[in-house]
Homo-oligomer: A and B are copies of this chain.
């Protein structure tokens, strides 16, 4: 391997990082099937991806393949786990014990593979004390700062209504959380030192609605 100049991680696109997760899912499946080695072309054909893109994405982080052969499935999987930081357990705290927050608290995807929900908070006395399947109990949001420190929370998850989201975000940042996943449909004012990722589920429905409505139509040009 030739000498390499190093670049900061911030210069890698989120699109690339998201695809690493996708590759990880694919490798999981191949491993379960007992496949030991896979080429970028096989991966691409099997999972409807682009082989050059796979190789480029991986090349940001090292040289993991063997020319003429491909990638060792187990090894590449481990590399991806390390790159994504999934080797150490991440603690997440949910704020907002409505439908979505409650569902995420016992959603298997959020309690496996390196992640654990360590608490769920609300400000509504009717919700505080409620049992969540999986063992959690809804706690009062006023304890947020203590909980973040005591339970070593890395990631905050906002599932409160839009109007309350900014206050919750500020409180999470103030308490020292480094990363936040926001499900509230509102544009939060960002603290630059905290990584914020917005997920508006309804946007996806609206996108589908757009295609249902507009299919085959013509619109003015750019």
Contacts and interface: CB of A to CB of B under 8 A. Distances in A.
Interface of A: 4-9, 12, 14, 17-18, 20-22, 24-26, 29, 47-49, 56, 59-62, 83-86, 90, 92, 99-100, 102-104, 106-110, 113-115, 154-155, 162, 178-181, 185-187, 189-190, 195, 197, 199-222
Which 3 interchain pairs have the tightest Cβ spacing? A85-B213, A103-B103, A6-B218
Contacts of A185: 25, 109
B25 A210 contact: no
Contacts of A17: 206-207, 210
Contacts of A200: 21-22, 25
Contacts of A186: 25, 29
Contacts of A154: 209, 212
A62 B214 CA distance: 14
Given A107-B99, A220-B59, A197 B207 contact: yes
Copies in the complex: 2
Given A208-B195, A215-B9, A106 B99 contact: yes
Nearest to A133: B99
Contacts of A199: 201, 204
A212 B4 CA distance: 24
B21 A218 contact: no
